[in-house]
Structure 1
Amino acid sequence: MDLSQLHDALASKSYDKVADLCDELLLHVASTGVSYHEEWPYAIHLLGHLYVNDLDSARFLWKSIPQGVKESRPELVAVWKIGQCLWTRDYAGVYGALRGFEWSPLVVGIINAFSENYTKRMFQLLTNAYSTISVADVAHFMGMSEEDATKYVLQHGWSLDLSSQMFTVKKPKIITDQKLDPSKLQRLTEYVFHLEH
């Protein structure tokens, strides 16, 4: 079984391509009739789907993995724990699952990248959902200590009221549509007119 393309994607940190690549490779290997379950990198495959936030495909993959493989691979089970937390929207649980396992060298890169992306997504979610939020809630949702969460959000422009221990969320600037310069519209009209005649 040739997994060199997968190893190349992992080496180049092209984690967004891992799920599709694994899906294609798995279909190819399965079509040959060769038994692949014992060698297949299910943990990486599952992480690939989680990385691109494709929870439905991750669940389908999990259900298709033979029970004996699940029982013999604790790292695979640990990856699925992350998927379960994502599925149930247990935001803090995702961080617990990420930190709760000693990841193998093959998996640690995509785990770290997933963790970083997840933190960014959670921060964006909090930014969009709240105008004010407590320090404790930010720490909970971002899976950090209160000190680390405070540092993180202050670096992103939020402000902290020390007496109430509440953050004021800095909303991103809303980009408004630019008005079209009338002279540009006139030139475009003349150009189209010229083409038609």
Structure 2
Amino acid sequence: MDLSQLHDALSSQSFDKIADICDELILQVASTGVAYHEEWPYTIHLLGHLYIHDLNSARFLWKSVPQGIKETRPELVAAWKIGQCLWTKNYAGVYNAVRCFDWSPEASGIIASFLENYTRKMFDLLTFAYSTITVSDAAHFMGMSEEDATKYAVEHGWSLDAQRKILTTVKPKIATEQKADPSKLQRLTEFVFHLEN
């Protein structure tokens, strides 16, 4: 079984491509009738789907993994715990699931990138959902200590009322691009021409 394309994606940190690469490879291998279950990188495959937040495919993959493999690969089970937390929207649980396992060198890169992206996503959600939030709630949702959550928030433009332990969010400015509609421009030109004459 040639997994060189997968190894290339991992080494180049093209984590967003891993799910598609694995899906394609598993179909190719399955079509040959060769038994692949023992050698298949299920953990990386599952993490690839979680990385792009394809929870339906992650669930389908988990259900298709033979029970014997689930019982002998603790890292796969740990990856699935992340998936379960994502599925149930247990935001703090995602962080706990990531931090409660000593990931292999092969999985640690995708895990680190996933966690960075997930933290940024949670921060953006909090920015849009709240105008103010307690430090403890922000820390809970972002899976950080109160000190780290405060530092992260302040570095990203929020302000802190240290006495009340309240963070005030800063809504991002929405840039709107106005494009001239040629028909409106023509009517405006005609109108100005009419006023001048």
Match of 2:7? 7
Q: What displacement does 1:181 show?
A: 8.3
Residue 34, structure 1, aligned to residue 31, structure 2 = no
**C-alpha separation between the residues in 2 aligned to 1:17 and 1:176?**
32
1:63-112 deviation digits (Å, cap 9, x = unpaired): 01000000010000000000000001110110001010011111110010
Match of 1:190? none
**C-alpha separation between the residues in 1 aligned to 2:106 and 2:185?**
56
Q: What displacement does 1:164 show?
A: 1.5
Match of 1:49? 49
**C-alpha separation between the residues in 1 aligned to 2:179 and 2:60?**
47
Match of 1:98? 98
Q: What displacement does 1:178 show?
A: 2.1
Letter in 2 for 1:96: N
Pairing 1:155-194 to 2, within 5 Å after superposition: 155-178=155-178, 180=180, 185=185
Match of 1:113? 113
Q: What displacement does 1:133 show?
A: 0.4
**C-alpha separation between the residues in 2 aligned to 1:133 and 1:16?**
32
Q: What RMSD in Å do the two structures reach over aligned CA positions?
A: 1.5
**Percent identity of equivalent pairs:** 74
Gaps of 5+ in 2: 187-197
Letter in 2 for 1:106: E
Q: What displacement does 1:162 show?
A: 1.5
Q: How high is the TM-score relative to the length of structure 2?
A: 0.91
Match of 2:151? 151
**C-alpha separation between the residues in 2 aligned to 1:167 and 1:181?**
42
Q: How high is the TM-score relative to the length of structure 1?
A: 0.91
SS in 1 for 2:133: strand
Letter in 2 for 1:156: H
Match of 2:70? 70
**C-alpha separation between the residues in 1 aligned to 2:43 and 2:89?**
21
Gaps of 5+ in 1: 187-197
Letter in 2 for 1:9: A
Could you list the structure 1 runs, at least 4 aligned residues long, displaced by more than 6 angstroms after superposition: none
Match of 2:60? 60
From the superposition, tell whether residues 156 and 69 of structure 1 become closer, same or farther in structure 2 (CA, over 3 Å): same
Q: What displacement does 1:175 show?
A: 1.7
